[in-house]
Amino acid sequence: MSDNIDDLISQRNDARERELDDLLNSPSENSVESMTSMNESMTIEKKDVILIVDDDASQLMSIKKLLSNSYELLTCDRGLKAIEVYKENQYRIMSILLDIRLPDIEGFEVFKRIKDINSNIPIIFITGYQSTYGDGFEVYKEYRPHGYIVKNHENEMNMIRDTLRNAVDSYRHILEVEKAKQITDRNKMMAGLMHDLKNLFTPVVMFPDLIIRFFDLNKNEQAMDMLQDLRKSIQFFAANQQVLFNYTKGENIKPNLTTSNLSNLINEFLDLTKMQFEDVVEIKREFQYNGDITIDKEILTCQVFLNILKNSKEAFPDGCGAVSIGTYSFDQYKHSFGDFAKFHDKKDNDIVIVISDNGPGIPKEIEGKLFDAYVTYGKTNGTGLGTWMVVNGVKDLFGGDIYLDNQIGRGVSYHLYFPQ
């Protein structure tokens, strides 16, 4: 019996070798086009990356022989290892050829876990157990793979080659569409930042004439006060400009930690932005904590506070509403909010800032993903990058945390935690 099985395996491998040789050696219909294509391919240095997952050594060898000239191949023979390989190379891999029957976990489970990482990556199932999995109809219905190939089919190698080519082309198109959207949204965000800079630059333009007028009237004290305001406005303008520059380069700002009085820092920020907000937004200052905070104040004000206030202003139905800013040590926070506190088990000298508005709230269907890039609500030209910049500042740059308390019809509260 074992001899018969060995014979069948040998016959299968011989047939596969002949099919491969035919595919690899068959002349093109137009030899000139074939030579041109060959010359072009030789100039291509970077190949698309394909992940092949199969525990059949002879199958892997055959696939390598078929595809290695066209693709960079990553191979593994275990499902869990395939998931690790994909995580490490997800930005390079353009398609996956996945055996259903694997020694550790089924290919279906591998499919689910990889799709959780990237729902767009095209995965092609391949199996030698057609009697178990059928002709693929039920598999397609449940999993929606990019393809389903039966091993030992007379056109198996052709199907692998053609289906992979289609998968890579389709995925490349998806990536191009997403990139175009991100560029468009990035440009919108840059336009918004430039608009903010224009608003912030207004007092910088106005102050010099006023300062000269005060000096002419011998009101030197008022002129000196305005000079100080001008200096602060220029510094704040420069900080916002740095946010814009770093964002356009796709880089995070490296925090420059300094110690400042938190109440003074917020008051200074609100004074500098009153032309932008206080004409339509009533801002209430509820400072319980009057001590210092160690933080990068430019990131806190320009990247976090500014975007939260913009979101609140833009969410108000008629552009008018109220915003409150509360500051607390963690000890004050847990006593003030009691059972409604959103953070627990923090150091008493850590700091929590709560910014609340009385707007309409956020639709429940996007509440859980509001801080993801490119998620927006209630704005005709919104990009969803402002809220992403908030969480990027609080979590990624400061190592803090953020909780969104959303009350439909009553408003939104941002609870911002900053370790000290």
- Arithmetic mean of pLDDT, 235-244: 69
- Arithmetic mean of pLDDT, 306-331: 86
Q: What is the pLDDT of residue 72?
A: 94
List Cα–Cα distances, 391 to 96, 252, 265, 297, 403, in angstroms: 33, 12, 20, 16, 10
Same domain, 38 and 147: yes
- Residue 237: inside a domain, yes or no? no
Same domain, 286 and 170: no
Same domain, 259 and 382: yes
DSSP of 194-210: HHHHHHHHHHHHHHHHH
- Residue 190: inside a domain, yes or no? no
Residue finishing a domain among 162, 181, 200 = 181
| Torsion angles phi and psi, residue 203, rounded to 5 | -65, -30
- Residue 216: inside a domain, yes or no? no
- Arithmetic mean of pLDDT, 351-370: 83
State pLDDT tens for residues 372-414.
Answer: 655 555 554 445 556 777 887 888 888 899 998 988 888 899 9
| More confident position, 255 or 348 | 348
Residue 330 belongs to what domain range? 252-418
DSSP of 138-200: HHHHHH--SEEEETT-TTHHHHHHHHHHHHHHHHHHHHHHHHHHHHHHHHHHHHHHHHHHHHH
- Residue 213: inside a domain, yes or no? no
**pTM as predicted:** 0.49
Under 8 Å between Cβ of 86 and 93: yes
Query: Could you give the 3-state DSSP secondary structure of residue 319?
Result: coil
- Residue 247: inside a domain, yes or no? no
- CATH at residue 385: 3.30.565.10
Q: What is the pLDDT of residue 78?
A: 95
| More confident position, 308 or 363 | 308
Domain count, the chain: 2
Same domain, 131 and 257: no
- Residue 356: inside a domain, yes or no? yes
State pLDDT tens for residues 188-232.
Answer: 666 656 655 665 666 677 778 888 888 888 988 888 887 877 877
Residue finishing a domain among 141, 157, 181 = 181
- CATH at residue 134: 3.40.50.2300
DSSP of 382-413: --SHHHHHHHIIIIIIT--EEEEEEETTTEEE
